[in-house]
Structure 1
Amino acid sequence: MKVIVLGAGIVGVTSAYQLAKAGHEVTVIDRQQGPALETSFANAGEVSFGYCSPWAAPGIPMKAMKWLFMEHAPLILRPKIDAAMLCWLARMLANCTSKHYAINKSRMLRLADYSRVSLAALRAETGIAYDERMQGTLQLFRTQQQLDASAKDIKALAADGIPYEVLDRDGCIRVEPALKHVRDKIVGGLLTPKDETGDCFKFTNALAKKAEELGVRFAYGTEIKRLDVEAGQVRGVVTVKERLAADAVVVALGSYSPLLVRPFGIRLPVYPVKGYSLTIPITNASRAPESTVMDETYKIAITRLGDRIRVGGMAEISGYTNDLGEARRRTLEHSVTDLFPGGDAGKASFWSGLRPMTPDGTPVIGPTKIAGLFLNTGHGTLGWTMSSGSARVIADLVSGRKPEIDAADFAVARYA
């Protein structure tokens, strides 16, 4: 079949690669001049198969109220008259129950674990290098209250058979030796040893080249105008340059996906939640992390990428804005220098990206009511983590095959 993939971020490129492997004639369209130049460009670098949780959780509404008054808040809300924002917030709050958390967490872990296996296979068959490390994620707790609250995550990990280890202060230092310099600032941690790290931009660009070797055509610098739909069937895509015919279209446009499908009555509850990152050159390796440390207090990930530290996090709900606030930079610098002052923060590059978030945390992968139109979007902070598994699921669905995991509850129909 002729398949068009919309979007050349990590999700779009992995989808194109798997679709080409399945024997389809694939074209990828993106408005940027190359792959991974938006949300996939400078993310936190963590591939978190175990540290994989919905943001909608019990207690989050009360925490959010406190965060609004913190100097280094993990959540920033800039309310505006925006029906999509208000609807998304209401749906997210509705998911902040123990029942919904358990369902959503289990669903996310199922996809993440499948993605772990898929990424390993992809790495073996392509030989791609991307500053990867396989040393796990350490969720770091500064207070006993945080450590106690991790019980719900531990329960979900155990239920889904995901390896984990609860660590005391000395255990955290064993995993991340640089923490010995700040041992009095931590009480313990939760290690998910199967997690990985890597440079998403490097990976996506390398995989795009492999996809081209399989015959995938990339149309960069091309703005998408609309979908071509006739009699309930997708017929192609109309760009500013031309109309491209297709038997199937996969929408992997991240936060912009809802805008494209809305004219066809598809209400996709994906909303942009802005994240920020710093990329810092390492000047003292003994004071830098070995893998990924998740600073639970500030919800900031501190990741080793070769000779750099990537510091990423925060959630700013402000619509489709990409400005760089200095207050956000100060929060990132505070977290990393407080724990790992092994880099030159003065020489850091500062970046922001719009994460495509769903109210329940699970991405939207699967068919729509328009025949031949598929969605692979809404991965939030876990696009890098879930991309390989999501790509295999969407390639199977487009090809008319049953996915290797249960994927029915990933589709947009779950919101109906």
Structure 2
Amino acid sequence: MGAGIVGLATAYELQRRGFQVTVVDQAHPGAGTSGGNGAQLSYSYVQPLADPGIWAQLPKLVLAPDSPLKLRPRWDPHQWRWGLDFLRACNRRTSEHGTATLLALAARSRQGFEQMLATEQLSCDFSRTGKLVLYASQAALDDAKRQLELQRAWGCEQEAVTPARCAQIEPALAHYAARIAGAIHTPGECAADCLQVCQGLHARLQARGVRFVLGSRITALTQSAGRIAAAQTDAGAIEANAFVLALGSGSHALARSLGLALPVYPLKGYSITFDAASEPGAAPQVSVTDAARKVVFARLGGRLRVAGMAELVGYGLDIPQARIDSLCAATRALFPHSGMQRQLQPWAGLRPATPTGLPIVGRHARGPANLLLNTGHGALGFTLAFGTAAAVADAV
């Protein structure tokens, strides 16, 4: 259930192991949050959003009009519960546990994704140019160095670099280097077009006999003797031996119909994509994250993807001009010659987040015996998809 990158990776892994698979979605593959995400595959830089540093930043993050984090309270107990659980998770012990868990899962996911790419030869603008995470202040850089030491203990290859070294690694940052305290460089990080991966997987799976029921909404799950007997859809009932719930932010509502409370709430984000300038040093080749603005830049062949923001504002997919203007301003600040004057492709998506930042994978203690969950990946859906897919296939 779900044809985003998480659902398709799961279908791919199950089909590869010999299962007969049906994929159901109300839209086409990759049409939701996978379609215009940040494009970075952050296998070694996975710190959960719930971090103890959030407490000091909270007033500015919530109240500043140009804040990358936005909260719009609603008459929704689920939103309030998620927000309170998120604040409870903003402590060092939970953050360090989350980091360790995510790094292990990311390592497995890298192996699965790169094995799939080598086998399938998908055209998806894949690159392995590394990543720079920029920090505006010395205090923020010092915090990042502490996180680096934590991640290094688990085998991550990273280093703190000076502003001058940033400009050597990514010449397009030469004019901006004097405005930062430094950066964390992770040379092994990758980027790819997630929508192209989804489309490629769809084509490969369909050719191998995987059934796709697209443009069809799941209306209910029929239960019998503690198990799901069928998924009721607009196209009729679909029976199966096992059901995988990978509907992203839509997972909460369908699980609630079974009496299950999943702590998954959407964090709304935005992106713009445009044809990058071809002149050397104009647009970045290396993936870049501006930690202060919470904006990421990823090169996709001849295009540049700019993505960011985290809004706790419900399920709407409207695109306020102010948010696009903010992404444009960040691009002008870091890469003024990147070619952004060309036609922009604005996009909004709903990242399915849990308060701790850890995805929900496997069976639910109070759920039907043949229901498996694969949801709650937050901003790391693309990064973790093939790792959680393998975990679900193991459970099946």
**TM bracket (short chain):** over 0.9
**What secondary structure sits across from 1:55 in the alignment?**
coil
The Cα shift of 1:27 comes to 0.3
Q: Which shifted more, 381-390 or 183-192?
A: 183-192
Alignment partner of 2:219 out of 220, 225, 229:
225
Q: What is aligned with 1:373?
A: 371
The Cα shift of 1:284 comes to 4.3
CA–CA distance in 1 between the matches of 2:174 and 2:52? 33
Is 1:267 matched up with 2:261?
A: yes
Q: What is aligned with 2:276?
A: 282
Is 1:171 matched up with 2:165?
A: yes
Paired residue type of 1:216: V
**What secondary structure sits across from 1:260 in the alignment?**
helix
Q: Percent identity?
A: 37
Q: What is aligned with 2:290?
A: 295
Q: Answer yes or no: is the 8 Å Cα contact 1:355–1:381 preserved in 2.
A: yes
The Cα shift of 1:71 comes to 4.0
1:96-120 Cα offsets, whole Å, 9 max, x none, are 1111111111111111111111111
**What secondary structure sits across from 1:134 in the alignment?**
coil
Q: Answer yes or no: is the 8 Å Cα contact 1:133–1:291 preserved in 2.
A: no
The Cα shift of 1:330 comes to 1.4
Paired residue type of 2:351: R
1:140-188 Cα offsets, whole Å, 9 max, x none, are 1122122111033212211211111111112211211111122211221
Alignment partner of 2:339 out of 316, 340, 343:
343
Q: Answer yes or no: is the 8 Å Cα contact 1:333–1:345 preserved in 2.
A: no
Paired residue type of 1:168: T
The Cα shift of 1:338 comes to 0.5
Q: What is aligned with 1:384?
A: 382
Is 1:55 matched up with 2:53?
A: no
Is 1:30 matched up with 2:25?
A: yes
Q: CA RMSD in A?
A: 1.2
Q: Answer yes or no: is the 8 Å Cα contact 2:161–2:182 preserved in 1.
A: yes
Q: Answer yes or no: is the 8 Å Cα contact 1:257–1:377 preserved in 2.
A: yes
TM-score where L is the length of structure 2: 0.97
TM-score where L is the length of structure 1: 0.92
CA–CA distance in 1 between the matches of 2:374 and 2:201? 18
CA–CA distance in 2 between the matches of 1:297 and 1:284? 27
Paired residue type of 1:26: V
Q: How many residues align?
A: 392
Alignment partner of 1:244 out of 218, 222, 238:
238
Q: Answer yes or no: is the 8 Å Cα contact 1:248–1:372 preserved in 2.
A: yes
Is 1:334 matched up with 2:332?
A: no
1:345-389 Cα offsets, whole Å, 9 max, x none, are 451111100000000001111012311100001101010000111
Is 1:117 matched up with 2:111?
A: yes
Q: Answer yes or no: is the 8 Å Cα contact 1:51–1:137 preserved in 2.
A: no
Is 1:196 matched up with 2:190?
A: yes
CA–CA distance in 1 between the matches of 2:168 and 2:386? 31
CA–CA distance in 2 between the matches of 1:110 and 1:383? 15
Paired residue type of 1:215: G
Q: Answer yes or no: is the 8 Å Cα contact 1:72–1:298 preserved in 2.
A: no
Question: Is the alpha carbon distance of 1:362 and 1:127 closer, same or farther for their aligned partners in structure 2, counting shifts above 3 Å?
Answer: same
Q: What is aligned with 2:393?
A: 395
Structure 1 consecutive aligned stretches of length 4 or more whose deviation exceeds 2 Å:
68-72, 283-286
